[in-house]
């Protein structure tokens, strides 16, 4: 519920105000932050199987709370729309250049027509199996990625779907 409310507030701020604003930290404790989000989602959805694969070898300058919000959106999607009883995997790496995080789930391929619109506000695909949502999670997540000078993308095959965040490890000079 608090995730839903923050998504609505962020959408309103984006339309009426300055958009997503970040509170950068020099060396965000991303392994801890990501593990905390995984454990929160697992508490809410005890049947979910969430695995982690972290290779965080470099500091990452970012807004840890915003990254947590993004991962929470991606994980709740993987739980809602992925194939039941299959693992969801959170991969995260950092090197001198980039922090790359992807959430992988098993499931049906997301059709190309859906992929084209999936990051638009209020867009929802066709198959929700009774799941309720506003269609804001991915839009806000993509805005969080952009605010960090990075991007959020999707690749989907008939076996697995990956949503991947890529951001530079250092705050862009313009921010």
Ligand X SMILES: Nc1ncnc2c1ncn2[C@@H]1O[C@H](COP(=O)(O)OP(=O)(O)OP(=O)(O)O)[C@@H](O)[C@H]1O
Contact 107, 82 (CB under 8 A): yes
Structure tokens at 36: 């905390």
> What is the C-alpha to C-alpha distance for residues 55 and 1, in angstroms, rounded to an integer?
31
Residue 152: which of Mg ion, ligand X, none does it interact with, CB under 5 to 8 A by kind? none
Other C-beta atoms closer than 10 Å to the C-beta of 127 total 12
138 sits near ligand X (criterion: CB under 6 A): yes
- Residue 152, classified by CB atoms within 10 Å of its CB into exposed (0-12), middle (13-18) or buried (19+), is buried
Other C-beta atoms closer than 10 Å to the C-beta of 17 total 10
72 sits near ligand X (criterion: CB under 6 A): no
81 sits near ligand X (criterion: CB under 6 A): yes
Strands 160-168 vs 88-94: parallel, antiparallel or unpaired: unpaired
> What is the C-alpha to C-alpha distance for residues 104 and 122, in angstroms, rounded to an integer?
23
Residue 110: which of Mg ion, ligand X, none does it interact with, CB under 5 to 8 A by kind? ligand X
168 sits near ligand X (criterion: CB under 6 A): no
105 sits near ligand X (criterion: CB under 6 A): yes
136 sits near ligand X (criterion: CB under 6 A): yes
> Which of 28-36, 45-53, 60-68, 75-83 is the region at the interface with ligand X (rule: CB under 6 A)?
75-83
> What is the C-alpha to C-alpha distance for residues 174 and 22, in angstroms, rounded to an integer?
13
Which of 22, 33, 134, 169 lies at the binding interface for ligand X (CB under 6 A)?
Answer: 134
Residues that bind Mg ion (CB under 5 A): 77, 137
Residue 135: which of Mg ion, ligand X, none does it interact with, CB under 5 to 8 A by kind? ligand X
Considering beta carbons, is residue 27 or 159 the nearer one to ligand X? 159
133 sits near ligand X (criterion: CB under 6 A): yes
Binding site for ligand X (CB under 6 A): 7, 73, 77-78, 81-82, 105, 107, 110, 118, 123-125, 128, 133-139, 161
């Amino acid at each position: 519920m608090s995730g839903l409310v923050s998504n609505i507030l962020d959408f309103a701020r984006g339309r009426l105000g300055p958009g997503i604003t970040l509170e950068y930290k020099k060396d965000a404790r991303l392994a801890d932050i990501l593990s905390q989000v995984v454990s929160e989602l697992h508490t809410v959805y005890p049947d979910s199987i969430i695995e982690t694969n972290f290779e965080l070898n470099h500091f990452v300058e970012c807004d840890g709370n915003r990254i947590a919000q993004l991962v929470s959106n991606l994980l709740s999607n993987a739980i809602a729309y992925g194939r039941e009883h299959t693992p969801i995997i959170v991969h995260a790496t950092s090197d001198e250049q980039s922090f790359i995080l992807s959430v992988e789930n098993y499931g049906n391929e997301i059709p190309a027509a859906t992929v084209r619109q999936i990051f638009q506000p209020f867009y929802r695909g066709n198959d929700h199996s009774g799941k309720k949502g506003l269609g804001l999670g991915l839009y806000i997540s993509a805005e969080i990625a952009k605010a960090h000078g990075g991007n959020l993308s999707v690749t989907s095959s008939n076996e697995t779907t990956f949503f991947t965040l890529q951001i530079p490890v250092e705050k862009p000079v313009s921010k």
